[in-house]
Amino acid sequence: SLVSELANLDTQNNKTILSAVASSIAATSAKADSRAVIDVVGKFIQDIKANKNQTLALLVLGEVGKCRDLSSLTEIETIVISNFNSSSESARQAAAYALGNITVGNLNKFLPHLLDHIQAKKVSEYLLLIALKETVSTHTTSADNLMSFRSFVDLITPLLLERAITSDESIRNVVAECLGRLCIINNRSILPHLLKLSKSSNPSSRSLVAISLRFASSPLADSTYFASQFHGFCNLAHDADLEVRRQFMVTLIGLSRSHSDLVGKELRTLLALIYQETKPRPDLVHEIDYGAFKKTIDDHKPLRKVSYQLLGTLFDHLSERLDLG
């Protein structure tokens, strides 16, 4: 069969090829009857159990699960999560992708289970959050998907906010993206929480807010409400912490391209701060002695570089509002 031929292709473990093959298998199965879909998925479950083509098999489960309800396969969650302990990085990532997209196929059954797994912390919290990110992201691709997920936003938000203060940067980054994408679905629910976090005494939490805003912009979002709240986040541009300021500048680069009017309204205040960041800061230059040699470190350099990149973006999209004198 075509599915068997695709499954036996030599993918050379290339991520792009694997994803394309998995998508092709899912597309081939998409219009089949339920029994045929279960048979196809069952074949790939057996491959996973046999440690055969695990990454491809997991990706197929995710692709099929995104468009078909696989809840009748009672062991599917356990099998997918067991691969979080795989020695293969690609298999672990594919397992997270699979779990997140299988959840899409039956939110009422699988989403509470996913949230329970995250709270229990018995397996990789990072991979479980990656799975949740996949679930959320899928529901920001169309108005219909967005509406179908809106009732789950308040269920997910407390769990994410609990992890906004974690010391684990990788987890914070996933949480930031999840919160940002939830803004697309219901920013009236999420933005007040982010605004409160932007005033946190914890610089990592404030940095998380700056990153979240990067993902909150979409034609599907309530742009009027987002615009009405944006001014409150601009205090991040003069935050005491260098990394918070850098992350907010990176966010402004994206917003200048997608929502130039939004940034334009705040430009008078922001420009002075951006120009200030382009100046070298000798007070932030220090030397580290490694014994055999010394190295000069400029802590302000990453922020200075992003500031110039932001000015270039503003010149491209808001040149009429820049003071070029």
pLDDT digits (tens, 9 = 90+) for 96-143: 999 999 999 999 999 999 999 999 988 899 999 999 999 999 999 999
Residue 287 DSSP label: E
Q: Which residues contact 53 (CB under 8 A, 6 or more apart)?
A: 7, 47
Element (H, E) at 294: strand 294-298
Q: pTM score, two decimals?
A: 0.91
CA dist 80 and 93 (Å) reads: 11
User: Average pLDDT for residues 144-153, to the nearest whole number?
Assistant: 94
pLDDT tops 80 at residue 7: no
pLDDT tops 90 at residue 26: no
Is residue 27 very low, low, confident or very high in pLDDT (cuts 50, 70, 90)?
A: confident
pLDDT tops 60 at residue 90: yes
pLDDT value of position 51: 87
pLDDT value of position 194: 98
pLDDT value of position 4: 55
Is residue 215 very low, low, confident or very high in pLDDT (cuts 50, 70, 90)?
A: very high
pLDDT value of position 324: 61
Q: How far is CA 175 from CA 253, 259, 320, in A?
A: 21, 23, 36
Q: Which residues contact 221 (CB under 8 A, 6 or more apart)?
A: 183, 184, 187
| Residue 287 backbone zone (phi > 0: left; psi -120 to 50: alpha; other: beta) | beta
User: Average pLDDT for residues 231-239, to the nearest whole number?
Assistant: 96
285 with 298: CB under 8 angstroms?
yes
Q: What is the DSSP string of 13-54?
A: T-HHHHHHHHHHHHHHHHTS-HHHHHHHHHHHHHHHHTTSSH
Which of the two residues, 19 and 174, has the higher pLDDT score?
174
Is residue 325 very low, low, confident or very high in pLDDT (cuts 50, 70, 90)?
A: low
pLDDT digits (tens, 9 = 90+) for 308-322: 999 999 999 998 877
pLDDT value of position 180: 97
pLDDT value of position 9: 54
